[in-house]
Structure 1
Amino acid sequence: MSRVIAVANQKGGIGKTTTAVNIAFDLAEMGKKVLLIDTDGQCNSTDTCRAQVEGVATLYDLLFENERASDCIQHMEKLDVIASDKLLKNPETKFPDDATRLFTLCDACEEIREQYDFIIIDTPPTLGCMLSNALTFADEVVIPVTCDRYGMEGISDLYVTIHATQKYTNRNLRVTGVLLNKYKEKTTLCREISEALPSVLAMFETTVFETKVRECEDCKKAQSARMGVQAYNAKCTTAKDYWNVCEEIVRRRA
């Protein structure tokens, strides 16, 4: 059975897209059949995967032009991608003005869902209809956060949206875990938040990933090279950490 995982946090700059892309690449390296769906109008995941935007069917066409999901998939070397589109920067008015608006993505992808072991969704860094569509389609949510007070605030805001989704459109949605990102072990604030986070999240019935993702220069270089960090340098700390995160995800069955 496929697992649909949304990577979400409406706070920018926390490594959400980096997490989504590297999880997708690493799961594919583990032999899983993976589809990455980029729902962010900035198209960063699309660009990193070297997927096309011009002259092809994109997520915009899937959602709003009645294009079939199978016709929107681009088959890349390691995984499949449904590309985002610059037209998705302001999608709110495009969704139907009725009760079906939050099920648009879920309904559109129904035909392809069981073709994959994992479907990873990179979500926009804003609350809104696109994020709600992703959560309605997803089985699980991975929430990357940075170890700062603003990152913690972002979690609280996101949980309001997650709880609303669980109540109204997707009762089976669960939070796989919170992922500490750009982790610097020697900083006092990072250690304090890391230690406090499990008790804070207990009320939300989730846990923190055992693996903490450390940032290194090769991660930035991999982004510039439009590659997953594992392919760029499998020996760097970030590559090792994301690989361990994927092993945790595989163990944490939905």
Structure 2
Amino acid sequence: MSVTIAMANQKGGVGKTTSTIEFATILTKLGKRVLAIDLDQQCNLTKNAEADRTAPTIFDLFSRDDVDMAQAIQTVDAGYSIIAGSPEMSKADKIFDDPTAVYLLDDLIDALSEDYDYFLIDNAPARNIPLNMSYIAADYFIMCADSGEDSLDGIDAIVSDMMKYHKSNKRSLSDAKILGILITRFRQTNIGNAVLDIINEKLDTDVPDVLKPEERPFIMTVRETAAVDEAKMVHKPLELYKKSSTASMDYRRIVDEIVRRIEE
């Protein structure tokens, strides 16, 4: 069975796109069939993966009936497949205002479920219709954070919204669980350790049991290193650009944990 993992936080710049790219690359190297979906109107996943911007986009698939899904799915140099994002997703809240529109992503993934082992969704840092689509389509959420207060508030917002879909109209529209929380650009400092303590407390006190998988959500870190920014500049996954870097080693460790939890 395929598994859908959504990356999310209401705050931008916390590593959602970088993490999506690294997860997709490493999972592909492990022999998994991976499709990454760019739901962010900024299209950073599409850009950094060097996907073809002229191919049909996720917006095209959602808004038009005459788009061939096979033409929208492309394989990038890192080996995984991707459906490109579109700046037109900025109109999503106006265009996809029908109540049934929140099922568009779930329907798309269901149609492709036999072709892929992992679907990775890169969400925009916003409370919008595409994120609502992810609440319904995803099996798991991984939330990225840094040491800033805003990113911790963003985790609270995601938890609050997930609960609405678990309890909507007294019936669950979502079975999504919080697989883990990823702290990017981590430094072993007093502030970094304080953030770890805060997130541990949040998991124990602020995250309802219905959002937790059988095993407690993981809290894992990606150490700060210049190699991450260097890899972005040349539009390469860190795993292929500098796999000896501490951050790359951290991402491999995290992917091992994801696979262990999902596949064992």
Q: Is the 8 A contact 2:178 2:217 kept in 1?
A: no
3-state SS, counterpart of residue 100 of structure 1: helix
The Cα offsets for residues 214-242 of structure 1, whole Å up to 9 and x where unpaired, read as: 12111111111111101000100110011
The one-letter amino acid of 1:25's match is T
**Residue 202 (structure 1) aligns with:** 204
Could you tell me which runs of 5 or more consecutive residues in structure 1 were left unpaired when the two chains were aligned.
none
The yes-or-no answer on 1:232 pairing with 2:231 is no
Return the offset for 1:154.
1.1
**Residue 190 (structure 1) aligns with:** 192
Return the offset for 1:189.
1.5
Q: Is the 8 A contact 2:43 2:84 kept in 1?
A: yes
The yes-or-no answer on 1:19 pairing with 2:19 is yes
Distance 2:237 2:56 in 1: 24
Q: Is the 8 A contact 1:25 1:79 kept in 2?
A: yes
The one-letter amino acid of 2:162's match is I
**Residue 179 (structure 2) aligns with:** 176
Of residues 204, 225, 230, the one that matches 1:221 is: 230
Return the offset for 1:111.
1.3
* Structure 2 CA distance for partners of 1:200 and 1:218, relative to 1, 3 Å: same
1:33-48 alignment runs, 5 A limit: 33-48=33-48
Return the offset for 1:73.
0.4
The one-letter amino acid of 1:188's match is N
Q: Is the 8 A contact 1:69 1:109 kept in 2?
A: no
Distance 2:94 2:75 in 1: 30
TM-score (structure 1 length as normaliser): 0.93
Deviates more, 1:199-208 or 1:145-154: 199-208
Return the offset for 1:71.
3.0
Q: Once superposed, which parts of structure 1, at least 4 consecutive aligned residues long, lie more than 6 Å away? A: none
Return the offset for 1:208.
5.2
**Residue 81 (structure 1) aligns with:** 82
**Residue 156 (structure 1) aligns with:** 156
Distance 1:87 1:195 in 2: 39
**Residue 53 (structure 1) aligns with:** 53
**Residue 64 (structure 1) aligns with:** 63
3-state SS, counterpart of residue 85 of structure 2: coil
Return the offset for 1:199.
2.3
The Cα offsets for residues 27-84 of structure 1, whole Å up to 9 and x where unpaired, read as: 1111111000000010100011111122x21111110012243331012231100000
3-state SS, counterpart of residue 191 of structure 2: helix
**Residue 94 (structure 1) aligns with:** 95
Return the offset for 1:96.
4.1
The percentage of aligned residue pairs carrying the same residue is 28
Could you tell me which runs of 5 or more consecutive residues in structure 2 were left unpaired when the two chains were aligned.
none
**Residue 127 (structure 1) aligns with:** 127
Q: Is the 8 A contact 1:209 1:245 kept in 2?
A: no
3-state SS, counterpart of residue 17 of structure 2: helix
Distance 2:43 2:113 in 1: 22
The Cα offsets for residues 158-189 of structure 1, whole Å up to 9 and x where unpaired, read as: 1111111222363321110111111111x212
Count of residues in Structure 1 that have an aligned counterpart in Structure 2? 251
Q: Is the 8 A contact 1:184 1:214 kept in 2?
A: yes
